[in-house]
Every structure is written in C-alpha cells, then in structure tokens.
Amino acid sequence: MAKKMNTGLRASTSRLVISAGLSAISLVGIAGAQDLPPGSDPARINEELRRRQEQLRETQPVTERGEVTNAQSFEFDPLKDTGVSFVLNEVQFESSAFLTQAQLDGIAAEYTGREVTFTDLNEMVAKVNALYDAGGYLTARAVLAPQRIEGGVVKVTLVEGVVEDMSVTGNTYYGAEYVAGRLFVPSGTVVDLPELEKELLRFNRLNNAKVMADIKPGGAFGTTDITLIMQEPDRNQLDLFVDNNGFESTGEFEGGAIGRRYRLFRDDDQLSGFIVGAGGSVSGSVSYSMPLGKRGMRGGLSYVRGQTEVINGPFKDLSVEGTSDTIAATASMPLLFRQGRFVGADLTISRTAAETTVDGIQTSDTEIIQAEAGLSADFVTEKNVIVLRTSGLMASAEEQLFDDTRDISLLRGAALFSRSITPKTRGSVDLQWQYAFEDDLPGTLEFQLGGANSIRAFDPGTVAGDSGYFAKVQLDREVHRGEQYALDIFGFYDMGEVQSLFPTVNLSAAGLGARLSRGQRINLSGSVGVPIEDGDLPEQSDVRAFVTLSVKAY
C-alpha cells in the first residue's frame, strides 16, 4: 500500500474483476497507480460531517450553573437585653434535617453551666445560624420563640423552610410537570439548597431548556415557595453557512444549513437536520433524540447519506462517483454529577454501506457494522476547563465484491485543556488520537489530518492512516465585546502524525485567525495557516486559509 499524499481512499480498482473487459483493465492501470482522492469517498465525507456536528455541540457550555436566586431566610428580631441573667442548665434544640446533634450540643456547651443574659442567648442562636449559612441552608434559621424559662432550660426553635408551593414560569412549550418532576423537591419536605442547586445543575446539563430557582418565604410560618424560571431554546432554529472547507476533488467551496425543532412529540426531544453541498458532493443527516426516564438518560436515531462525484484533479474525466448511507442508534447516561464535575457514558451502534464506481463500473461495495462505547468527563473551575473522552470501537467490515470480511478494533480518545490567563486571554490545548489493532482500515475508519478542524494549513483529508494523533495549541484574545459586535483573534500551532503500513507521516503548521460576530445572528470566522512540516507532500501550498460565514435565519 502506498503512503497517502493528498489522498484518502485506497483504490479498490486494483482488485477489479477482469470480466468487465478491456475498459476495466485500463481503469485498473490508471487507478492502481495512484489512490483515488479523499473527496471521492462519500463515507469519509459523512465522517467529516459527523465531526462537524460534534464540534458544534462542543461549542456549547461544558457545564451549566445550578443557580438559585433571591433565597431569603426567615428574619426574627433578637431578644432585647433587659439586664436579667440566670444560670443556663440546658438547651433543648428541635430536630434538624441539616445539622447534627453533636454540632448543636457543641454550641450549647459554650453557654450551659454558667450565668447568661439574653445577649448571650442571641449570640448562641447566631452561631447556629452561621452553621446553616456555611452549609448553604439559607432558608433555615434558629430562633428563640417566646417562652417561660424554668429551671434554667431554654428551648431553641429550628425553622428549616418546608416547601409549601413550587411553580414554573417562563415556559411556553415545555410542560410544567416535566420540569417539576425532574427536580425531586416534593411539597412538605425541607428545602435543602445545596441539593436543589445540584438538581438544577443536573437538569441544565442534560436538557435543552435551562432553569433557575427563585426562593421566597411561603404564606404560612416556616414554609418556603419555589418558583422555577425556565429559559427555553427557540423552538424552531435554522442556520445557514458557506465556507471553503470542502475537499479539493469535489469542490472546496460549499454551503449548507442546520435546522432544529424542539419538542416535536414530547418535552425535550429534538429533531435535527444538517445538509452541506459542494460542486461535486452533497451530504445530509437527520437525527432525533429524546429523554429516557427522569435521571438524564437519552436515546436517539440518526441517518446520514452522502453522494460524491470527482470534478477536479487528474481523475475528473473518469466519472468517479460514490454513495454512502449510515444509520445509527445512540444512548447516553450520566454517571456522576458534582458542581464543576461530570462523568457520562455513551454507546453507539451503526451500519454504513458505501460503494464507489469508476466510469460506471463498481470498484468497491463495503458494509461496516460497528459498536462504540465511550466515557467522557468534564472538570470546570473558575479559570480552567478540562474535557476528557475515551472510547473503544469494534467493527465488522465486509468488502462484498470480493466476499472479504474482517474484524476491526480501535481505541480513540480526546482531551481539551483550556485556561483563562487574564480576563481577556485564554489558552487551550486540544488533542485527539486513534490506535488501530489492525492494518489497512476502510477509509471511513481511518484517522485523518488536514482541514479546518485539524492541521489548519492543509486540505481536508490530506493524509490518513490507521493510527495517529493531532494536537492544537491556541491562544485567544478578546479584542472587543459589545452589543453591536464582538471580535476575538487567536494564534495557533498544530501538529499531527499518522501511521500506516508504510513510513509515518508528520504534519505541523502555525498561523493566525479571527472570529467576528454581529449580534446573535451573524458569525464570521477564519484562519490562515503556514505549513512547517509537510511530510514531503507533492504540490503542497505555502499557505492555506479557511473561512466560514454563518447566519441565523431564525
């Protein structure tokens, strides 16, 4: 197998059945000397489409805050010091859902067995309330209710804010019961603010809508009312874009659209569509996902189809065409939630069928059935964001023209580290890798280098191999942030490597870029990269620019 240079799909024409006659023999001679260009492989383009969709999801916040506003405690006037003192023999506290008896007894021990005044009692109660505040239980309070003190015994009432009413506001197409039923704060229970914040965090991370809680004292003594304020995404969304991120063989300049419809059949489901076309290719996908149960599991189905025709380069007169279809089922579930930490698991099972023809003669007919299981984790602090992912993939690939079936195993991973250096400067390192246990993988499973999402001085799919990695180091600087527009600039250094049966290929590049947005509707981004290591590739340009313009139609 020859090393891929500006190519990606190994030509299957070298194994053509000779029964096609002299024309087939001539095609074998032409295509066998050089692999077909990467843009002729629709399965590879579908894989690039999947990567773009993943990147769009990754631009969303890694984590959401579980925000509680206006949390108000019950305020009680302290006892007025009348100058009366007495020996405090015992302090009797009501039972608490948040404080231990040992904590309460420890405070009482500071005052019992000695002469105290009402000022001392107010101080003792303030220490109990300080424990509530330290634990985040802002609706809970210790109070000294009117009482007759006999035998030096004082009773302290603990008011811990039982939920009287919970309502939902701000929802237009979500059902109120969907939100309330997933926060697990039933009426009649004590308000545990840290637990409520955790539930809000879980909801906001796992649902398309976001919610915050407003807490106020209820109508009755010792009760609390919770108002859940929802922020729903626009129910119908459509984004249009144009860019020059396409494959050279099928057209670099491309345009497309991304559409979303929320709550098609039930609360928090989502129907998405994605289509992109160039001069010689068109690919599209449709997907549907919905919640499964109340604890954050989701399931989904997707379908991706691609059609290609080589219109540029040395093969443009050979009528090289291809089609690919992929259907997939996905499931995901959260494993761990903490403020600033998240761990989840996911499973994808898919089937891909792809074929390529040269001058009307079928040269490949591949079916790949695969299962990929993965773990992902996020760690977020005030300045740092760390995102980790690893997965294992097992596939069965059949080349149906030659009745050749083999099993394939892969390990994949990704890591992102981002740190805020100053209020307007952020640095990041983005790493992705793949390790294959077998050689000579089908094109759709190969690890690719090049393109706007990889080494940003090379065309998409410039090189591909069975195993490999790439790392992107980037420094972003905010230039302006205002109501009319926002501008960021960045510098980057990208490097990567692919390995196959023949020598390793290394690529690296450096460059500059910018992102300009006008309001919430128009976004323009671009980068200019210069190759540093080009792997001795022929006809490699001295500079490569990528530009994307997107417009929010509605």
Q: What residue type is assigned to position 348 of the chain?
A: T
Q: What is the pTM of this model?
A: 0.81
Whole-number pLDDT of residue 531:
96
Whole-number pLDDT of residue 218:
79
Same domain, 54 and 32: yes
d(Cα 243, Cα 252) in Å, to the nearest integer? 8
Whole-number pLDDT of residue 9:
34
Domain boundary (131, 159, 187) is at 159
Below-70 pLDDT ranges, the chain:
1-77, 187, 501
DSSP summary character for residue 475 = E
The reply to whether 202 falls in a domain is: no
Structure tokens at 466: 């069975």
Q: How many Cα neighbours within 13 Å face the side chain of 317?
A: 2
Domain boundary (130, 159, 188) is at 159
The reply to whether 227 falls in a domain is: no
Same domain, 424 and 497: yes
Whole-number pLDDT of residue 51:
65
DSSP summary character for residue 80 = P
Same domain, 28 and 80: no
For residues 322 and 308, the answer to whether their CB atoms sit within 8 Å is: yes
The reply to whether 282 falls in a domain is: yes
Same domain, 389 and 487: yes
For residues 24 and 18, the answer to whether their CB atoms sit within 8 Å is: yes
Whole-number pLDDT of residue 493:
98
The reply to whether 191 falls in a domain is: no
The reply to whether 197 falls in a domain is: no
Same domain, 413 and 515: yes
| SS3 of 113-162 | CEEEEHHHHHHHHHHHHHHHHHCCCCCCEEECCCCCCECCEEEEEEECCE
Same domain, 52 and 137: no
Interstrand relation of 153-159 and 90-93 (parallel, antiparallel or unpaired): parallel
d(Cα 195, Cα 493) in Å, to the nearest integer? 43
Q: How far are the Cα atoms of 60, 177, 192, 283, 313 from residue 229, in angstroms, in the given order?
A: 21, 13, 18, 39, 57
Domain boundary (111, 142, 159) is at 159
How many domains, the chain? 2
Same domain, 110 and 155: yes
> 126: domain range?
75-159
Q: Going edge to edge, which strands form the sheet with 141-143? A: 90-93, 153-159, 141-143
For residues 179 and 171, the answer to whether their CB atoms sit within 8 Å is: yes
CATH number at residue 310: 2.40.160.50
Whole-number pLDDT of residue 67:
65
The reply to whether 520 falls in a domain is: yes
The reply to whether 503 falls in a domain is: yes
d(Cα 53, Cα 260) in Å, to the nearest integer? 12
Same domain, 421 and 511: yes
Whole-number pLDDT of residue 45:
67
d(Cα 202, Cα 341) in Å, to the nearest integer? 11
Same domain, 98 and 35: no
Same domain, 333 and 462: yes
The reply to whether 209 falls in a domain is: no
